[in-house]
Amino acid sequence: MGLRDLFRPKWQHSNPTKRNRAIHKIKDAGKLRQIYYLTDNWWAKETIAIKLHSEDLVSELAIHWNEPSNDLRDAVRKYVQDRQLLVSIARQALRLDLRVIAAIKLQDTELLIDILGETTSLVRKAPECMHIAIDAFRSIPTRKIDRTLLALMVRAHDQFSSADPKSSHWCRYRITIRQRASEAGWELIDKPGAPCVRCSGVPIHSEVGYGCAFCIDGVVPGPTVFRKGFEEVLVEAPSMFPVRKQPLTGWRE
């Protein structure tokens, strides 16, 4: 406890636990609002806004604060119902995850797609943005998942796999992308590989792996793609496909 804490109200205490305890003891909503505008401590503002269930205060914090807690994210989901406030959060919030939450509540597909494009471009430098992109992608209607949108997600997944290869989340991300793509009519397939370097035989695929149709030599496997009609989206990250293609060895005598 600092010396200054002895000479100022408890709600201004430097210890966040004591500060929050003091704020929660105040029952007068008018006084809480007064404290909200007097203090310059964002954490105290958050505590007050959530305690009051105030959508205007929660919205103000969501737009202007770049270090919100999970409690504020939940408060946006629960308390902000006014459409204009949600639009302001979705378009102006400093945090992309809060923008996604507001856009989902608005059921604004075009806004979600815009945020998704902005989010996926940041994955290489900030891998944590991938979960925000996944939340947005999960909420976009199936009919809107076109080649451009799927390519954004596949590219973001490729970048995430490269930037954070040890992450425990890549499997969940991969499953979500494949599931949503499948719902939209996209099929994950393997294209034919290069001919055998030994006899120019056609590569074939079995449960064991890839190999030449005429000799025991392995062949270069083809790329994995999402395909829908004549459109294709190339998949570069190995983790997008559950089992990597291995050359056949000894399968033909």
Output the pTM of the full model.
0.74
d(Cα 37, Cα 114) in Å, to the nearest integer?
33
Q: Name the E strands within 64-179.
A: none
CB distance 160 to 130 below 8 Å: yes
CB distance 218 to 212 below 8 Å: yes
What the block records as the tokens of 213 is: 């149709």
Beta bridge partners of 233: 226
Mean pLDDT (the chain, rounded): 79
pLDDT in tens, 77-113: 999 999 999 999 999 999 999 999 999 999 999 999 9
d(Cα 214, Cα 135) in Å, to the nearest integer?
47
d(Cα 20, Cα 180) in Å, to the nearest integer?
42
Q: Where are the domains of the chain?
A: 108-185, 188-253
Percent of the chain scoring above 70 in pLDDT:
73
* pLDDT at position 89: 95
pLDDT in tens, 161-195: 777 767 777 778 888 998 999 999 998 877 666 66
User: Could you identify the residue written with the tokens 């996926």?
Assistant: 120
Between the CA of residue 58 and those of 50, 103, 124, 132, 201, what are the distances in Å? 7, 16, 31, 20, 66
pLDDT in tens, 211-229: 555 555 555 556 778 889 8
CB distance 5 to 14 below 8 Å: yes
